[in-house]
Amino acid sequence: MTPRFRPVERPDPAILDDHRALLRAIDRRRLLRGGLSLGALTMLTGCDVRRPDAVQSALLTLRDMNDAVQAWLFDPRKLAPTYPASQVLKPPKFNAYYDVTKVKPVDAAGWRLELSGLVADRRPWTLSQLTTLPQRDMIIKHICVEGWSYIGEWSGIPLGSFLRRVGADLKAKYVAFRTADDYPSSIDMATALHPQTLLALDYAGKTLADPFGFPLRLRMATKLGYKNPKWITAIEVTNRYPSGYWEDRGYSWFAGI
Amino acid sequence: MVAKVDMSRPRRGRKLHPLPIRIMHWLNAVAMIVMITSGWGIYDDDAVIKGFYFPDVLRLGEWASPSLNYHFAGMWLLALNGLVYLGYGFATGRLRERLLPIRLRDVVHTVRDTLHLHLAHEDLTTYNAVQKILYIVAILAGIAQVVTGIAIWKPVQFSGLVSLLGGFQFARVLHFTGMSVLVGFLLVHVALAFLVPQTLWAMLSGGPRLRRGSADRSADVAP
C-alpha cells in the first residue's frame, strides 16, 4: 500500500509562489494573453521546454483559464451516476501525500469543527452534535487524477444544508477546509451546495476508519479525489482565494469531473 | 463551375497544399506531439497496461502535474485547429477531393505494388488508396481522441457519453487505443515523408501546382 499520488520529485514551491499573484482573477485581457501563450507554446518545440519560467507561467495561466471553463461546464443540478451496494469497495482505497503508516488518528473526544469567515453562527461543533443532523447516503465513483477509480458508499451531512444551518453567506465564492494532516483545500460555492457534496461520517454503513478521515471528511461526486480533504478540523467561508495543497503544486483548483 | 475557376485562375492551378493547409498541418503536428508526450506523462501514474510505462525522456512534463497542464493546454490547439481543418476541408471540398473515392481494386493494386517495392510516387498530387485510408483513419482517430478525452475529463458532466463508451475505465482504454493508432500512423507518415523528401518539401512550400480540373478528373474518369 504505497501512496502513488505523490510526485517522484517535489517541485520547488517557490516557482509557483513567484507567479501566484499573476495567476488569479480571470479577465478578458488575461484570456487574450493566454491565447497568445497558447500560440507561443507552439513555437517552443525547438528549445528546452522543461524549465523556462515563461512556459511554466503560460501553463499555469492556461490551467486557470481551464478552471473557468470547468466552472462554466459544471451543472449544479446534474447528479453523478450512483451504483448498487454490491459494487462498493471495502475498505476504500487509502490515498494521501504520505504513506498510510504515517496516519495520525484524531481523538474524537477532543475534536471540534471550527467555523470562520462569512458564517453567522461560528460556534464550534462537537462530533456528537454533528451526528444529530440529518444525513444522506450516496454510492458514487471516486475518480483520482491519476486515472484509477473505485465505487464507495459514503454517508454524512450534505454540506449545503450544513452551510445553510450555520448561516453561511451562500453568495461567497469559496468554502475552505483545514485538516489535522495539514492538507488545506478549498472548493467553489456551487459545488459546496451540490446535493452530492457531503461532510462524510460513515463509509459502507460504518463509522469512518482512521486512515479514511475519521471523524469528518469531505466527499464530492463531482470532483477529483484530491479535492476531498480528510480529518477536517475547520471550515471557512470566504471570498479570498484559499488555494490548497496540490493546487500549490500545479494541479487544477476546480478539478471538476 | 470549371469555367468559373478558369476565369479566376486563368494560367496557374492552385498549389497541392494551399497555405492554410500547411499552417494547420504544422500546428496539428505540434499539438499531436504535445498531446501524446504529455499524455504519456499522465499515463505513467496509473498504467492502463500493467507494467508498461513510458520512459522519462519521452514524457512532456517532469511529473503528472505539468504533464496534465500541458495536456489541457494542448487540447485547445488540437481541437480548435482540428475543427478549422475539418470546416475548411468540407467547405472547399478538399477532403472529398483528396481522400475519395477509395476503390477496392486500387487498394489491392497499391498493396501489391508496395509488396513488390515499386510504389509510384513521382506524382504527389494524387494519393494512392492506402494513403487515403491511412489519412481517413488518422482523422477519425483524432476525432475519437477528442470524444474519449472529453469523457474522461468530465465523466460526471458527460455521464451519458461515458456510459455509451462502456464506463470510465473503458473510456480510458479507448483513449489509450486511439493514441496508439495515432502513434502508429505518425511512425508510418514520418518514415514515408523522409523516404520521399519531396512530400516534406511540398508541405512546407505548397508543392506542385495542380493541373486545372485534375481533382474532378480523378473522381470522374474511370481508368
Contacts of B20 (CB under 8 A, 6+ apart): B88
> B111 and B150 in one domain?
yes
The C-alpha of B159 sits at a distance from chain A's nearest C-alpha, in angstroms, of 7
> B107 and B146 in one domain?
yes
Q: What is the pLDDT of residue A62?
A: 96
Q: Which CATH class is domain A85-249?
A: alpha beta
Identify whether B18 is preceded by a cis peptide bond (ω within 30 of 0): no
First to last CA, chain A: 26
> B41 and B93 in one domain?
yes
Do A7 and B46 lie within an 8 Å CB cutoff? Answer: no
A74 closest CB neighbour out of B63, B76, B157:
B157
The grid coordinates listed for B14 are 492552385
CA atoms of B7 and A203, how far apart (whole Å):
76
Contacts of A151 (CB under 8 A, 6+ apart): A83, A87, A88, A89, A139, A140, A141, A142
Mutate to test the interface with A, among B27, B54, B69, B162 (most CBs of A within 10 A): B69
Helix (H) or strand (E) segment spanning residue A186? strand A185-188
Cβ atoms A120, A168 nearer than 8 A? yes
What ranges do the domains of chain A cover? 13-73, 85-249
Contacts of B65 (CB under 8 A, 6+ apart): A7, A11, A246, A249, A250, A251
Which residue reads 455521464 in cell numbers? B159
B156 closest CB neighbour out of A5, A60, A257:
A257
Composition of chain A by helix, strand, coil, percent to 5: 30, 25, 45
Q: What is the pLDDT of residue B31?
A: 98
| B213 alpha carbon, distance to own chain's centre | 26
Nearest to A208 by CA among A187, A224, A231, A228: A231
The whole-number average pLDDT for the span A186-199 is: 98
Task: List residues of A whose CB lies inside 8 A of any B CB.
Answer: 4-5, 7-9, 11, 38, 41-42, 45, 49-50, 56, 58-60, 62-63, 66, 73-75, 78, 80-81, 141, 143-149, 221-222, 246, 249-252, 256-257
> B133 and B201 in one domain?
yes
Do A257 and B155 lie within an 8 Å CB cutoff? Answer: yes
Domain presence at residue B198? yes
| Residue spans of chain B under pLDDT 70 | 1-12, 119-122, 212-223
Which residue reads 499531436 in cell numbers? B32
CA atoms within 13 A on the CB side of B173: 8
**Residue A37 DSSP SS3:** helix
Q: What is the pLDDT of residue A152?
A: 98
Q: What is the pLDDT of residue A46?
A: 47
Domain presence at residue B1? no
Strand partners, A168: A119
A63 closest CB neighbour out of B46, B69, B172:
B69
Domain presence at residue B114? yes
State pLDDT tens for residues A108-155. Answer: 999 999 999 999 999 999 999 999 999 999 999 999 999 999 999 999
Strand partners, A185: A177
Domain presence at residue B110? yes
> B95 and B21 in one domain?
yes
Could you tell me whether strands A217-220 and A149-158 are parallel, antiparallel, or unpaired per DSSP bridges?
Answer: unpaired
Query: By residue range, what is the domain housing residue B133?
Result: 101-206
Q: What is the pLDDT of residue A30?
A: 58
Nearest to B39 by CA among B67, B58, B65, B62: B67
Q: What is the pLDDT of residue B223?
A: 39
Q: Is B45 on the interface with A (CB under 8 A)?
A: yes
Given a cut of 60, is residue A44 above it in pLDDT? no
A222 closest CB neighbour out of B60, B70, B156:
B156
Q: What is the pLDDT of residue A210?
A: 96
CA atoms of A230 and A180, how far apart (whole Å):
8
Nearest to A185 by CA among A234, A229, A251: A229
Pick the residue with more confidence: B179 or A45?
B179
Helix (H) or strand (E) segment spanning residue B187? helix B168-195
Domain presence at residue B4? no
Given a cut of 70, is residue A13 above it in pLDDT? no
Instruction: Show residues of chain A in contact with B66, CB under 8 Å.
Output: 56, 59, 250
**Residue A95 DSSP SS3:** coil
Specify the amino acid at residue B170.
F
Helix (H) or strand (E) segment spanning residue A154? strand A149-158
State pLDDT tens for residues B200-217. Answer: 999 999 988 887 654 444
Q: What is the pLDDT of residue B126?
A: 80
Cβ atoms A46, B102 nearer than 8 A? no
Mutate to test the interface with A, among B156, B162, B164, B172 (most CBs of A within 10 A): B156
> B197 and B138 in one domain?
yes
The grid coordinates listed for A239 are 471570498
Given a cut of 60, is residue A45 above it in pLDDT? no
Domain presence at residue B50? no
Instruction: Show residues of chain B in contact with A257, CB under 8 Å.
Output: 153-157
> B119 and B106 in one domain?
yes
Cβ atoms B61, B70 nearer than 8 A? yes
Domain presence at residue B54? no
Domain presence at residue B5? no
The whole-number average pLDDT for the span A221-243 is: 98
Do B46 and A59 lie within an 8 Å CB cutoff? Answer: no
**Residue A79 DSSP SS3:** coil
The grid coordinates listed for B102 are 477509395
Q: Hey, CA dihedral for A246, A248, A254, A255, is it positive or negative?
A: negative
> B89 and B27 in one domain?
yes
**Domains in chain B, number:** 2
Helices (H), B93-166: 94-99, 104-115, 129-153, 159-164
Do A146 and B46 lie within an 8 Å CB cutoff? Answer: yes
CA atoms of B158 and B152, how far apart (whole Å):
9
Strand partners, B199: none
* pLDDT class of A16 with cuts at 50, 70, 90: low
> B113 and B95 in one domain?
no
> B24 and B112 in one domain?
no
The whole-number average pLDDT for the span A6-35 is: 57
Q: What is the pLDDT of residue A207?
A: 97
> B198 and B131 in one domain?
yes
Q: What is the pLDDT of residue A50?
A: 52
Contacts of A241 (CB under 8 A, 6+ apart): A24, A173, A174, A186
> B94 and B180 in one domain?
no
